[in-house]
Amino acid sequence: MTLYRPLHARLSRYVQSLIWQSEDAKDLVSEVTLEAFERFETLRQPEQFAYFLFAIARNLYLKKVRRQKFHAPWNREKMEDLDGGETSEDSLQRRELANLLGKLKPQQQEAITLFEVAGFKYEEIAQIQKVSLSKVKTDIYQARQRLKDLVELENARLKKFGLNQTINEGGLK
């Protein structure tokens, strides 16, 4: 638990960004915690615990997606069923983000989520995804470019219809 406590918030944010439905996300975090506890003896280096934990989360999530439990990473019906504890503006922003992220390749979705939401460094993401450092950098760069292009396209579409509001690019780098 000493290794887990500092990572709990990051793990929760990461899983929430994958699933979006808070109860399913809490269930998955519990499953990840249980599996990490059960497999803890296989961990050879305690400093690798974060990679170990997030790899378990990734694998369990992918397993659930394959079993169709969550249907898809950015399922519109799941987005409609979000908790009511947020403002309309927050809800709209979450939907816009989910819609944009859903247009990325799965590897790019995961890389940008691990980087921007969970706060991992490039090297850590490479270990979690079991890919090269250059692949992670490329995926994050391409994801940012694609998101920027999508935002610009949506803003142009809104202006075409005479709407003055534009999508905020503040979160994109």
pLDDT in tens, 32-68: 888 887 878 777 777 777 778 888 888 888 777 766 5
Reported confidence tier of residue 72, pLDDT bands at 50, 70, 90: very low
pLDDT higher than 80, residue 29: yes
For range 65-92, the mean pLDDT: 54
- Walk me through the domains of the chain, giving residue ranges and CATH numbers: 5-160 (1.20.140.160)
HEC assignment per residue over the chain: CCCCHHHHHHHHHHHHHHHCCHHHHHHHHHHHHHHHHHCHHHCCCHHHHHHHHHHHHHHHHHHHHHCCCCCCCCCHHHHHCCCCCCCHHHHHHHHHHHHHHCCCCHHHHHHHHHHHHCCCCHHHHHHHHCCCHHHHHHHHHHHHHHHHHHHHHHHHHHHHCCCCCCCCCCCCC
Q: Is the predicted pLDDT of residue 88 greater than 90, yes or no?
A: no
| Confidence category of residue 154, pLDDT binned at 50, 70, 90 | confident
The upper half-sphere exposure of residue 162, i.e. CA atoms within 13 Å in the direction of its Cβ, equals 0
pLDDT in tens, 4-18: 787 788 888 888 777
pTM, rounded to two decimals: 0.58
Of these ranges, 5-14, 45-54, 74-83, 106-115, the one predicted with the greatest mean pLDDT is: 106-115
Confidence (pLDDT) at 173: 41
